[in-house]
Chain A
Amino acid sequence: MTLFESVVLGLATATQPINLLFCLIGGVVGMLVGVLPGIGTIAAISMLLPLTFYLEPATAMIMLAGIYYGSSYGGSTAAILLNIPGSPSSAVVCLDGYPMAQQGRAGIALFVSTVGSFFGGALGIILMMLFSPMIVQASLQFGAPEYFALLMLGLVAASSISDGSVVKSLAMVLLGIALGTVGLDLSTGTNRFSFGILELSDGFGLVGVAMGLFGIAEVISSVKDKPEALITDRNVTMASMIPTRQDIRDAAPAVARGAGVGAFFGMLPGVAGSVSSFVAYAIEKRVSRHPERFGHGAIEGVASPETANNAADQTSFIPTLTLGVPSGPTMALMIGALMMHGIAPGPNLITKEPALFWGLVMSFWIGNLMLVILNIPLIGLWVRLLTIPYRFLFPAIVVFACIGAYSVSNSTLDVWLMLAFGVLGYLIRLSEMRPAPLLLGFVLGPLLEEYFRRSLTLSRGNFLIFFERPISGTVMAITIVLLCWAGYSALRRRRAFAK
């Protein structure tokens, strides 16, 4: 199929009324989730996953994706108006967005961040359209060892990049993999770790695990420290949003740079969304002629990170959908969602389900457009919502999580499991570890084991197969380099700390 034919197929799928509707719903829910601190995209996606069982796979993915990129649009609103990052990738926008709001330029900040987000998203989608078929072509040479190596790279990258102790994150990945072994082992027919509980034969339900680790645990940790928010500027009118010519001159190159940074980092397996916005901000500060302006309302400090995180949102779908290698925990959840709908992620996805893939890609265009148009009018609504004290919101989150967990298979066992994982998630946070690598390991663990087994059967027990084959050898080498680099910088930090 040529690109043109793919686009037409995608548009035909994406413009079906039900897909349009759920694209809108996903986007708005995403914005809401992005605006409200205390509930993240992972919790929201896992909460809505059970609802998608009644939908076609394409519709389900369109909605879930909408939540994902919608939250980047929403997070900036809270960051600019309240200095509260609604989502982690918006944290850096607080640095210059909030000062801009304090200077009365909230409208301009919001406008620039919305428009920048759209440009970032657009670039990401274009890259997706161009590169995906190419990557799929290249991956035809991939066998079990290559996939194993890629998954290893993704898991190691997720542990070593981003903040926190590498050892702890790696341990989280391992724990996730271990938890993923619970249930029926398809290759041998052995029921592992199920202790006679029949429902556990399918393993822990993804929804319960995700909601427990990210929803319940988050609520437990954050109940205490939610300050009553003070809004700087209640009257954000439409007129106040029009930027001056100087603003546009400053912001435009920042948008371009941010888009490039975001698009690149989004594609890397294992790199979380917030990394792109942080790097974009750092780059802006570096290349600026007046770096001292940053932190006091520099418009580039808003434009670039916002563009970057939306670009990254879109390109993070590329490795996820073309290779089945998620670029982050949320993408791992998307893979989980696909598997729950009976679709195996991997290079065959584009060829076996072209309508799903291209429909999804086209829905990104539609969704981004919808959100751009809606973001500005909805700001008033978000502002009002943010004035609701957290003590009213979190019981609602708990209730919705409970119902969500139950609705997966109409079983209270899933609710109990969510509780268990919620407590585990809280303990994890308490010991300064992060749950995201755990989720990655949990979703990818079964796949990892499968590829590992197959590779070793192929090589008749020779571990070197991963290094002898050129592609997997390269990927494994990169993984090892990454591990060493992470270990080295961790040691340096420890030494500096000890001094």
Chain B
Amino acid sequence: MKTFNLQDMLAGILLLALGLFFAVYAVTHYPLGTIRNMQAGMFPVGIGGLLALLGLTILVGSVLRGAALPGLEWRALASVAASVAIFAATLNVLGLLCAVALCSLIASLANEGIRAKEALALAGCLAALCAAIFHFGLGLQIPLLPW
């Protein structure tokens, strides 16, 4: 029975897509020039093309080997990604202290072992620590509080 190698498939699809994107976008938007006098588009087209080719190779090869995809860790991915996004979104709106605290809280969700009190305490400590190191210590130009 032929089983698909999911990791290779993922790799192949990812690479093929990105390679095609670079190559096609470059061809349609930038002048290629000649080999003697390369313009902006030539290199991305070449690299993108090679990349797509490799992606295709891996994709085809993935049909031959069988392996299970390691579990996609949704919780970790979602919490860490969300925490970074929250930080980026709230930094200028709510200030450093809140952004750090929120970021830490949401990131803590990634691990099931953490308890609410610990997460809150950690968030508070980190906020204070960051204020001390970055705002007072290094003079980083980020407002601490919303006002």
Contact = CB atoms under 8 A, between A and B. Distances in A.
A192 B26 contact: yes
A394 B43 contact: no
A410 B88 CA distance: 11
Contact of A190 (B40, B64, B81, B141): B40
Contacts of B15: 171, 175
B36 A426 contact: no
Contact of A403 (B57, B122, B134): B134
Contacts, number: 192
A396 B44 contact: no
Contacts of A220: 73, 76-77, 80-81, 110
A497 B47 contact: no
Interface string A241-273: 000000000000000000000000000000000
Nearest to A189: B40
Interface string A430-467: 11110000000000010001001100110011010000
Interface residues of A, number: 64
A398 B83 contact: yes
Given A190-B40, A399-B104, A415 B84 contact: yes
A4 B85 CA distance: 53
A401 B126 CA distance: 13
B39 A190 contact: yes
A426 to B, nearest CB: 6
B28 interface: no
Interface string A380-398: 0000000001111011101
B44 A178 contact: yes
Contacts of B130: 399-400, 403
B51 A175 contact: yes
Contact of B76 (A223, A400, A407, A431): A223
Contact of A398 (B25, B58, B104): B104
Interface residues of B, number: 73
Interface in A56-85: none
Interface of A: 51, 165, 167-168, 170-171, 174-175, 177-178, 181, 185, 187-188, 190, 192-193, 216, 219-221, 223-224, 389-392, 394-396, 398-403, 406-407, 410, 412, 415-416, 418-419, 422-423, 426-428, 430-433, 445, 449, 452-453, 456-457, 460-461, 463, 497-498
Interface of B: 7-8, 10-11, 14-15, 18-19, 22, 25-26, 30-31, 34-41, 43-44, 47-48, 50-51, 54-55, 57-58, 61, 64-65, 69-70, 72-73, 76-77, 80-81, 83-85, 87-89, 91-92, 96, 99-100, 103-105, 107-108, 110-111, 113-114, 118-119, 122-123, 126, 130, 134, 138, 140-142
Given A221-B73, A224-B76, A398-B83, 13 more contacts: A193-B22, A216-B80, A391-B113, A396-B122, A399-B87, A401-B84, A402-B87, A410-B142, A412-B91, A430-B10, A430-B72, A456-B35, A461-B35
